[in-house]
Structure 1
Amino acid sequence: MLVIKATFRIVIGLFFGVLSVTALSPAFAAFHSDTDQTAPLLVLAVILICTALCFFAPTIRRAFGRGFLALGASVFALPLSAFLLSGRAASEVIGSTSDGTEAFTAIGAGLAGIAVTGVATFFGLILGTIFLIIGLVLSLGGAREVIIVENQQRINPSNRK
């Protein structure tokens, strides 16, 4: 039974790791180049960190909570990822233009970057907040035990003020 629970926690970690990498993919695309091979290593690192967080969770519920927290943080960072990618795309588009229309190209790239970052901000903040709240409830919530201790000391009616 212990092996099945551990395997299930690993599957949960891999699932949320892949979803987190999907949310962070614009940032990985912005940093990727043909000569530099660090983006695939970052992808694997994010998946392994999320898997390790879920594997070492004491219960399945907490594993889901940690997965939702990792996904929420990744989705919450989506506007920054979109900003990085739109900046990289604008830089490449402006750099490839050489026929005297660089000003119009820069204006168009800036407007497109604002639109992409705005849409990513709208979805990233809303979905990221939802995933973070779900993760906090699953990780921190649960049955709380309340013990009521009755006062055993008797009050003498003549000593009342």
Structure 2
Amino acid sequence: MIIAKAAFRILIGIFFGAASAIALTPAFAAFTSAEDRVTPIVMMSLVLLCGVLCFFAPSIRRAFGRGFLALGASVFALPISAFLLSGRAASEVVGTAEAGSEAIAAVGAGLAGIAVTGVATFFGLIIGTILLLIGLVLSLGGRREVIIVDGPQRTEPMVRK
């Protein structure tokens, strides 16, 4: 039974790690070049890191909480990822524009970057906040044991003066 729970926690971690890597794909794409071999390694290390974090969780509920926290942080960073990718795309568009149309290409790329970043901000902040709250509730919530210790009992009644 312990092995089955550990395997299930690892699967939870791998699932949430893969979802986190997918959410950070725009940032990875912004830093990728034609001969880049580091980006897939970073993506796989993110998946493995989330798997390890969930494996060491004390319960399946806490494993889900840690997975939701990792995914929420990745989705919450989606506006930054979109900003990086739109900046990279704008740089490429302006660099390949014809001799007289660099200004028009820069304005168009800037407007497209603003639109993409705005949509990513809208969805990233809302969905990221929801995922982070779910992760916090699952990780930190639960029963709390409260022990009430009575102080010494008084034998004489209190009299106000």
Category of TM-score, reference length = shorter chain? over 0.9
Partner of 1:31: 31
Residue 24 of structure 1: how far off its partner (Å):
0.1
Q: After superposition, what is the alpha-carbon deviation per residue over 1:95-147, rounded to whole angstroms, capped at 9, x for unaligned?
A: 01124111000000000000000100111111111111110110011101122
Q: After superposition, what is the alpha-carbon deviation per residue over 1:7-49, rounded to whole angstroms, capped at 9, x for unaligned?
A: 0001000100011011000001111111221111111111011
The amino acid across from 2:159 in the alignment is: R
Alignment RMSD: 1.1
Residue 152 of structure 1: how far off its partner (Å):
4.1
Runs of 4+ in 1 over 6 A off after TM superposition: none
Partner of 2:20: 20
Residue 155 of structure 1: how far off its partner (Å):
4.3
TM-score by length of 1: 0.96
Does residue 81 in structure 1 map to residue 90 in structure 2? Answer: no
Q: Which runs of 5+ in 2 are unaligned?
A: none
Q: Report how many aligned residue pairs link the two structures.
A: 160
TM-score by length of 2: 0.96
User: Secondary structure at the residue paired with 1:58?
Assistant: coil
Distance 2:150 2:99 in 1: 86
Distance 1:118 1:155 in 2: 70
Distance 2:159 2:151 in 1: 17
State the percentage of identical aligned residues: 69
Distance 1:35 1:98 in 2: 26
Distance 1:155 1:93 in 2: 87
Matches within 5 A, 1:66-105: 66-105=66-105
Whichever structure has more helix as a proportion of its residues is 1
Does residue 146 in structure 1 map to residue 139 in structure 2? Answer: no
Q: Which runs of 5+ in 1 are unaligned?
A: none
Residue 151 of structure 1: how far off its partner (Å):
3.5
